[in-house]
């Protein structure tokens, strides 16, 4: 009786458990394939911040070009 339980446990660990684990992680991967709503909002916010920073840099460069035309050569 003890050997039957041992054989069944080994078969479960060798055949069923790996397949179960693989399918578990495949399901997790498929459910997390896209961005969550919170991630999308954060990405949109970061995109907007990056656009504002780019506009500020261009404005600063225009001001510096007007007031100190050779500022780029000093860097």
Same domain flag for 7 and 29: yes
| Per-residue pLDDT tens digits for 1-56 | 888 899 999 988 999 999 999 999 999 888 888 888 898 999 999 999 999 999 99
What is the pLDDT, as a whole number, of residue 72?
Answer: 87
| Tokens linked to 26 | 């495949």
CA–CA gap between residue 33 and residue 62 (Å, rounded): 43
| pTM listed for this prediction | 0.54
DSSP structural state of residue 15: I
Domain count, the chain: 2
| Whether residue 68 sits in one domain with residue 40 | yes
Query: Are residues 46 and 57 both part of a single domain?
Result: yes
Which structural domain, as residue segments, surrounds residue 16?
1-33
**Model pLDDT, residue 75:** 62
């Amino acid at each position: 009786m003890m050997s039957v339980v041992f054989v069944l446990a080994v078969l479960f660990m060798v055949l069923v458990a790996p397949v179960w684990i693989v399918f578990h992680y495949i399901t997790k991967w498929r459910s997390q394939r896209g961005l969550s709503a919170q991630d999308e909002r954060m990405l949109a916010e970061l995109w907007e911040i990056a656009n504002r920073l780019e506009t500020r840099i261009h404005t600063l460069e225009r001001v510096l070009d007007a007031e100190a035309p050779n500022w780029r050569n000093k860097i």
